[in-house]
């Protein structure tokens, strides 16, 4: 049976349902995970990871996050930490 066609409105809400032998797989957009209890894709709260925005404020958004650093600090794109740029 193709669960994706039979239960399209009930399984894999917010994602792409892929039929498999005897079951299905749910593929969610980047920044989301599949909740098998609620049968839907849910947002990952990246701000729960303390290494993100270290030294700054993290704001979770749908599928991503925004990092705010207090001046004169800026976000280092390589480490996702707030750093002070060296003076030239």
Q: What is the pLDDT of residues 32-87, one digit of tens each?
A: 999 999 999 999 999 999 888 998 999 999 999 999 999 889 988 888 889 988 77
Entry pTM: 0.75
Predicted confidence at residue 8, as pLDDT, reads: 80
Predicted confidence at residue 80, as pLDDT, reads: 82
Q: Which tokens sit at 36? A: 């098998």
DSSP secondary structure string, the chain?
--HHHHTTTTSSBTSEEEEETTEEEEE--TTEEEETTTTEEEE--GGGSTTTTBTSEEEEETTEEEEE--TTEEEETTTTEEEEPPP-
CB 28 within 8 A of CB 35: no
Predicted confidence at residue 85, as pLDDT, reads: 80
Q: Select the more confidently predicted residue: 75 or 88.
A: 75
């Amino acid at each position: 049976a193709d669960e994706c066609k039979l239960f399209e409105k009930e399984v894999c809400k917010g994602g792409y349902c892929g039929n498999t032998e005897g079951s299905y797989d749910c593929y969610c957009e980047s920044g989301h995970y599949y909740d098998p209890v609620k049968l839907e894709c849910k947002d990952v709260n990246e701000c729960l990871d303390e290494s993100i925005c270290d030294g700054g404020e993290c704001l979770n958004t749908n599928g991503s996050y925004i990092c705010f650093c207090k001046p004169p600090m800026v976000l280092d794109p390589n480490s996702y930490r707030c750093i002070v740029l060296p003076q030239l």
